[in-house]
Structure 1
Amino acid sequence: MHIVASNVAVTRAAGRMLAPTSLEVRSGELLVVAGDPHDGHTALALVLSGRMRPGEGTVHLDDDRSPAALRRAVSVVDAPGVTEPDGAVPLHDVIAEGLSLAGRRSGRRSVRTWLHERGIADRAKDRFEHLPHPERTRVLVDLARLPRTTGALVLDSPDRHGTDPTAWHPAAAEQAQRGLAVIVLCAPHSAERLDIPVARIGADNIPRSTPDSPEGAA
């Protein structure tokens, strides 16, 4: 799987929601994309997943640029006001809904088994907002990858629950190692704590070939 966003931008009546952004990610890769508050993290997540049409630019999934193909393949994780669970809901209800949306069995026994396999069965009745940050991220990532058509994940601002990237980076990296294409949208101060290359919202992050590069050589 190869996702390419070329100069995607979103503008609404109130102004620019997302400045032109270009990026690409392939199966088995983890791409961290940093942006300041109000740079349009959620707008970018929705554009990349085919859930919002950009006013400018295009998004391709392999050779397909249809929003329907993106919606089938890309799951958005914890987007504020979109896919973020209600914090007051018990953990077992969040799991049941996630399993159901993924087309999996979601009865009490299935939920208990799912929680037990992850070592968090004792938290089944806890309010979701009380989960420690690493467990919250891992639960939502594990649920998001369950649909059989999912080949990519977009994590929307996981650092809003805490600035330590070790709370979300391991879960994201694990899914990339499993073969998924993974994009994490976060703040610059979180990205700076990771010793990895970081893309930027509002920038062209796609490497271009030059005459001296192998891609540009005749």
Structure 2
Amino acid sequence: MKIVLDSVAKGPRDTALPATSVVFETGQAALSRAETEQRPTVLGLIASGRMRPDSGTVTIDGRTDFGAMRRRIALVDAPDVCEPAPDVTVAGIVAEELMFAGLASHPLAVRRRLAGLGAAEYARFAIGTVPPTVRIRLLTELALLRTGVEGVVIVSPDRHGGDPVEWWRFARELAGRGIAVLVVAGDASAAAIAASALVSRQFPAEEDASAPQTFDEDPGRDDTDDLFRPESGDLIVENS
């Protein structure tokens, strides 16, 4: 599966989202930069087929089919759209997602699912209080339980704090499982991830040799017009 957003824009004079181009596909983790409160969600909605742009084109496997995108791409944790209320318990969220996926959602099933995800200790926590990477992993893994989902668009994980390198590592793990992954985050997170990748390149013994990467050679450079397209899919950075 390959999703291509070509110069998509939204709103009067492109105020909701300026012209943005993004590519993400099966087996690759892509990072798209979007700043301001509204733009990450707008981009996430368009990239998952849930909103049509005012200009530009969106294709899935070379054709325009928003219905197929909605069926095959899960939108994860988008502010004001699909983020869970901060006071809902983790167990409650798991039960609801299991039900949506057509799976058993009784308390034992919830406990087993949380144990399988390594998050059993957070069952009684409000989702707004769990560590950022735990939250992102949990919500994404639950979204992938739904029938037909082959890709995910994770919106603004950096708004929860924590180290962006950690959730980026998880995005790469997902891609390694054959999932198409797009993460929409801010410039600061993109710079931190690029800097970490550069360090890993300079000290390769500390990096997992089984996870090939493409690095931003100059994290301080304005990459507005650059699109890094690695053969095996680890880092694509766009600036919107």
Normalising by the smaller structure, the TM-score range is 0.7 to 0.9
Residue pairs, 1:54-69, within 5 angstroms: 54-69=53-68
Equivalents in 2 of 1:120, 1:206: separation in Å? 34
Secondary structure, aligned partner of 1:6? strand
Secondary structure, aligned partner of 1:193? helix
Matched AA of 1:85: P
- Quick check: 1:154–1:183 contact (8 Å CA) kept in 2? yes
2:164 is equivalent to residue 161 of structure 1: no
Residue pairs, 1:1-218, within 5 angstroms: 1-12=1-12, 16-38=15-37, 40-194=39-193, 195=197, 196-197=215-216, 205=227
Equivalents in 1 of 2:48, 2:119: separation in Å? 30
Pick closer, same or farther for the CA change 1:86–1:202 going to 2, 3 Å: farther
State the Cα distance separating 1:166 from its structure 2 match. Answer: 2.7
Secondary structure, aligned partner of 2:17? strand
- Quick check: 1:76–1:154 contact (8 Å CA) kept in 2? yes
Count of matched residue positions in the alignment of Structure 1 and Structure 2:
205
Equivalents in 2 of 1:106, 1:137: separation in Å? 20
Per residue, is there more helix in 1 or in 2?
A: 2
Structure 2: unaligned runs, 5 residues or longer: 198-214, 230-240
Matched AA of 1:7: S
1:116-165 superposed Cα distances (whole Å, 9 cap, x missing partner): 22232232111111111111111011112111211111110000111521
Equivalents in 2 of 1:92, 1:39: separation in Å? 29
Equivalents in 2 of 1:203, 1:101: separation in Å? 40
Identity %: 36
Equivalents in 2 of 1:80, 1:21: separation in Å? 20
Pick closer, same or farther for the CA change 1:19–1:201 going to 2, 3 Å: farther
Matched AA of 1:60: T
Pick closer, same or farther for the CA change 1:20–1:202 going to 2, 3 Å: farther
Pick closer, same or farther for the CA change 1:172–1:86 going to 2, 3 Å: same
Deviates more, 1:122-131 or 1:2-11: 122-131
1:22-54 superposed Cα distances (whole Å, 9 cap, x missing partner): 121221001111122247111010001111111
> What is the RMSD of the two structures over their aligned residues, measured on CA atoms?
2.3
Secondary structure, aligned partner of 1:28? coil
State the Cα distance separating 1:203 from its structure 2 match. Answer: 5.7
Matched AA of 2:180: A
TM-score (structure 2 length as normaliser): 0.79
Work out which structure has the larger RCO, using CA pairs closer than 8 Å and 6 or more positions apart in sequence. 1
